[in-house]
Amino acid sequence: MAEIKVPELAESITEGTIAQWLKQPGDTVEKGEFIVELETDKVNVEVISEEAGVVQELLFAEGDTVEVGQVIAVVGEGSGATKNPVEADPAESDAPVKNVEVAPATTAPVEKEESSSTDRTIASPAARKLAREKGIDLQAVSTVDPMGRVRVQDVSAHTAAPKQAPAAAPVAKTTSAPQEDDGRTTREKMSRRRQTIASRLLEVRQSTAMLTTFNEIDMTNVMALRTRKKDKFFDDSGVRLGFMSFFTKAVVAALKKYPYVNSQLDGDYIVKNNFYDIGIAVSTEGGLVVPIVRDADRKNFAEIEGNIGELAKKARDNKLSLSDMSGGSFTITNGGVFGSLMSTPILNGTQVGILGMHTIQKRPIAVGNEIEIRPMMYVALSYDHRVIDGKDSVGFLKTVKELLENPEDLLLNS
């Protein structure tokens, strides 16, 4: 008999949510095989079984909150169903299944009732998570995958599809809205990650003396340099030249000049970081995540662009690990990709500074005694005034501006 416990996740993570049971009571599990997917504040983690045997009991249902070290399932000796219905190989579907006596579990009836309509459908964990949050029956979702696998895009398309019958009863099944709402509102439970984002952002606002200073950057020269070099850059490195590498390099140079912006508070101490791990905010369906480009000061433009591309893909595919997002000394967030003209970014965790990029917009600008139309970008630095004074914050942003308006200078600071 072996107990399946919630493993140590990360220093700052003490609990998680059962996102999906990958095995059911009576299923055979091999040593090292995944048995459950946990949703944490940052990433989803799949937990393995340390012993081979038969799943005897699931102590929690999907959606339950569990703590690190807590026993969540029991695996006993013997053999049972060879595969979970979700993972069954069509070639083995007619294989005989041995009858196994399964220890009673208080949560098993609920588990079967909740999962009976979806366990027969092949779906990615991300699709199951989205369907569960929106109260959608996966069997009702149409998919274009030739193997019949339901993806996140299919669930999203199902959500956006017009309802066939306004008066149909299933409305009560897909939402937790009270009867008196009469279909005019939809109540959707926040995911664990969204709850964590909300509480941490509120905590930052309440526990820091956050201020924001703004500036604007004439993007003419950096855009011209990018246009001239992007084809050769791609041929030489295999990655595309974007603006994020320019901003990352400019930020690193500014952090070296103003080290307090690259620090954090620890009680009565200011801890100045002598490394430059730059967080790049990425928007995903589950919320904003901030993977880290490690040692950005030691990387060239191609390496930075490659890192950012890999991390962004992992974020969209829900493949980020805790190590991808742990630490970080400063963060860059780009609201411009959504068309934001100006905003006030909120500090990330214990960091004391975050740079907000915005959309590039052509505006009339005084150049000498002439008025010219130039591509301009507003940038914002939010900072903790307990650590950073106005002089450093304005100087930091001015340095970023000057380097980007004279991008050749970035080579001297790389």
The pLDDT of residue 289:
87
Q: 284-294 pLDDT, tens per residue?
A: 877 788 999 99
C-alpha dist (Å) from residue 255 to 133, 260, 398: 41, 8, 12
Q: Higher model confidence: residue 398 or residue 15? A: 398
The helix (run of H) or strand (run of E) holding residue 334 is strand 330-334
Rg, the chain, Cα only: 26
For residue 175, pLDDT over 50 is answered with no
- The answer to whether 120 and 139 have CB atoms below 8 angstroms apart is yes
- The answer to whether 306 and 262 have CB atoms below 8 angstroms apart is no
What would the DSSP string read from start to end of 246-266?
HHHHHHHHHHHHSGGGGEEEE
Q: 224-234 pLDDT, tens per residue?
A: 999 999 999 99
How many CB atoms lie under 10 A from the CB of residue 8? 10
The pLDDT of residue 322:
79
The pLDDT of residue 186:
86
Question: Whole-number mean pLDDT of the chain?
Answer: 81
How many CB atoms lie under 10 A from the CB of residue 94? 6
- Percent of the chain with pLDDT strictly greater than 70: 78
CATH 2.40.50.100 residue window(s) in the chain? 2-115
The pLDDT of residue 114:
41
Can you say whether residue 256 is alpha, beta or left, with left for phi > 0 and alpha for psi between -120 and 50 degrees?
A: alpha
What's the one-letter identity of residue 27? D
Active site amino acids? 385, 389
Can you say whether residue 174 is alpha, beta or left, with left for phi > 0 and alpha for psi between -120 and 50 degrees?
A: alpha
Average pLDDT over residues 136-163: 70
How far, in Å, CA of 298 to CA of 296, rounded?
5
192 DSSP 8-state letter: H
Average pLDDT over residues 28-42: 82
Find the range with the poorest average confidence among 90-104, 114-128, 169-183, 343-357: 90-104
For residue 327, pLDDT over 80 is answered with yes
What's the one-letter identity of residue 323? S
Q: Higher model confidence: residue 7 or residue 381? A: 381
How many CB atoms lie under 10 A from the CB of residue 177? 16
Domain over 2-115 is classified CATH 2.40.50.100: yes
CATH 3.30.559.10 residue window(s) in the chain? 193-413
Domain over 193-413 is classified CATH 3.30.559.10: yes
Three-class SS string for 15-74? EEEEEEECCCCCEEECCCCEEEEEECCCCEEEEECCCCEEEEEECCCCCCEEECCCEEEE
Q: 234-246 pLDDT, tens per residue?
A: 999 999 999 999 9
- The answer to whether 376 and 365 have CB atoms below 8 angstroms apart is yes
- Percent of the chain with pLDDT strictly greater than 90: 39
